[in-house]
């Protein structure tokens, strides 16, 4: 959603705005750690590292899942309009003995297939997320 306001555009301020990256795991043996917790409009990537072999999901509960959250945020464009970017919660069920690299690739695939303005790459066990305008 874009809304026009009367204010001066400050690129230094606006390009540092972005989504806060948070992560959680509900698996006994696979963990996720956020290494860089901000995905900015100006191109700073959010980075998470996944480690361990998954115990996996055995039932319909949250146990055996792993998730990331990108918070909502707003920023001003050079033309003075305000862009509101929705938050995004991504939960993945894990399979028994699933590797950390497989989980990172699954997150990247889900993010890249989504309609939100983010792209992701998985390199080994690291997941890198950047903000992209479509």
What's the rounded mean pLDDT across residues 25-38? 98
Question: ∠21-68-62 over CA atoms, to 5°?
Answer: 150
Residue 36 token pair: 């860089």
For 69-109, the pLDDT digits (tens) are: 999 999 999 999 999 999 999 999 999 999 999 999 999 99
Q: Are 52 and 44 in contact (CB under 8 A)?
A: no
Q: Which residues contact 125 (CB under 8 A, 6 or more apart)?
A: 49, 50, 51, 100, 101, 104
What's the rounded mean pLDDT across residues 122-130? 98
Neighbouring C-beta atoms of residue 6, cutoff 10 Å:
5
Partners of 75 in the beta sheet? Answer: 83
Q: Helix (H, G, I), strand (E, B), or coil: what is residue 15?
A: coil
Task: Give the integer Cα–Cα distance in Å for 128 and 49.
Answer: 9
Q: The whole model's pTM is what?
A: 0.91
Q: How many structural domains comprise the chain?
A: 1
Mean of pLDDT over the chain: 94
Domain that holds residue 87: 2-131
Phi and psi at residue 123, to the nearest 5°: -120, 105
Q: What are the distances in angstroms from CA 70 to CA 8, 27, 40, 91, 111?
A: 27, 20, 11, 12, 11
Task: Give the integer Cα–Cα distance in Å for 19 and 28.
Answer: 28
């Amino acid at each position: 959603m874009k809304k026009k306001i009367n204010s001066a555009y400050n690129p230094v301020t606006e390009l540092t705005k972005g989504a806060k990256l948070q992560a959680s795991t509900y698996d006994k043996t696979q963990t996720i750690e956020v290494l860089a917790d901000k995905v900015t409009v100006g191109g700073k990537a959010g980075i998470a590292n996944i480690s361990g072999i998954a115990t996996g999901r055995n039932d319909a509960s949250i146990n055996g899942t792993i998730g990331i959250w990108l918070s909502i945020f707003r920023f001003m464009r050079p033309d003075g309009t305000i862009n509101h970017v929705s938050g995004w919660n991504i939960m993945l069920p894990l399979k028994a003995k699933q590797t950390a690299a497989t989980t990172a690739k699954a997150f990247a695939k889900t993010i890249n297939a989504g309609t939100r303005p983010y792209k992701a790459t998985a390199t080994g066990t690291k997941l890198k997320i950047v903000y992209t305008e479509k």
